[in-house]
Amino acid sequence: MTLEIPRHIDDPPQLLLWRVDDLLPLLLALILGVLTDHLLPLLVAGVVGVRLYGRYRESRPDGFVAHALYWAGLLPLAARSCPNPFERRFLP
């Protein structure tokens, strides 16, 4: 496993040594594990999820996941220039 050190100002945000989007599956599993009282199995699932997400992200171009989330309507943007993701046809 290699550690990517940010080299540019527009690199994704990091929390200590990891990218924030890499830690989201683990944090989600940790929260669900505490709420459901099944901490160890869900932590193992979170670590596996982090590994699978890392492989998926590395095989795609930068920003692919953000674009896919926007296209699915799960990532709302506050900008005025971004169209509604559910509007598939644009008429003049």
On average, the pLDDT of the chain sits at 81
What number is the average pLDDT over the span 75-82?
Answer: 72
Contact, 66 vs 87, CB < 8 A?
Answer: no
* 58 in a structural domain: yes
* 27 in a structural domain: yes
6-10, 32-36, 43-47, 49-53 — which is least confidently predicted?
6-10
* 87 in a structural domain: no
| Measured distance CA(87)–CA(15) in Å, rounded | 35
- List beta partners, residue 18: 15
> Quick one: pLDDT at residue 22?
80
* 24 in a structural domain: yes
**How many structural domains comprise the chain?**
1
> Quick one: pLDDT at residue 10?
65
* 60 in a structural domain: yes
**pLDDT band at residue 38 using 50, 70 and 90 as cut-offs:** very high
Alpha carbon distances (Å) from 64 to 35, 61, 78? 31, 6, 19
* 50 in a structural domain: yes
Structural domain of residue 51, as residue ranges? 19-71
> Quick one: pLDDT at residue 1?
64
